[in-house]
Amino acid sequence: MANARIRYRSGYKYQLAEGYSVKVRVIPQEPIKTEFIALGTDGTLVIKRGYAWDGPSGPTIDTRNFMRGSLVHDALYQLMRDAGLSKEQWRDEADLELKRICLEDEMCRLRAWWVHRGVRLGGDPSASPESRKPIRTAP
């Protein structure tokens, strides 16, 4: 008989329906690969279909011009938390990638500035291993 318990993590709102890749300015010394994310030494970030993320965080609205930036930013922060990407070296650049992508996706400059200020002021804990979402069980 199957195990009567499940193990899961909560806190995700979105799931990638197709794989996505983008060039970023975060360049690790060695390639990094996890189950859903890969970052090459040329800055190619590959996020696999099925990746789950929580979308834009903080007091904001999940708009179309914020979704791609939040995906890339969350993936980079996850690599900092879980896969050894140096937070000290790359957090600033990951935050700038969020702003850059939001501007590419036609977010107004003022809002993109506020988004960037928000992650600069409040994002540090989310890039730390201590902020990993705990594994829960049910029932």
Which region among 96-100, 111-115, 121-125 has the lowest average model confidence (pLDDT)?
A: 121-125
In sign, the C-alpha dihedral spanning 84, 86, 87, 92 is: negative
Predicted pLDDT at 118: 95
Residue 1 pLDDT greater than 60, yes or no: no
Q: Give the C-alpha separation, 9 to 2, whole Å.
A: 20
pLDDT at 134 over 90: no
Residue-level pLDDT at 10: 86
Residue 91 has pLDDT above 60, yes or no: yes
pTM here is 0.92
Q: Domain residue spans in the chain?
A: 8-131
Average pLDDT over residues 93-117: 98
Residue of 22, 98, 34 lying closest to 66 (CA atoms): 98
- Which residues have CB under 8 Å from 84's CB, separation 6+? 32
Contact 16, 50 (CB under 8 A): yes
Write the CA distances from 128 to 11, 15, 94, 137, integer angstroms.
Answer: 17, 22, 14, 23
pLDDT digits (tens, 9 = 90+) for 35-55: 999 999 999 999 999 999 999
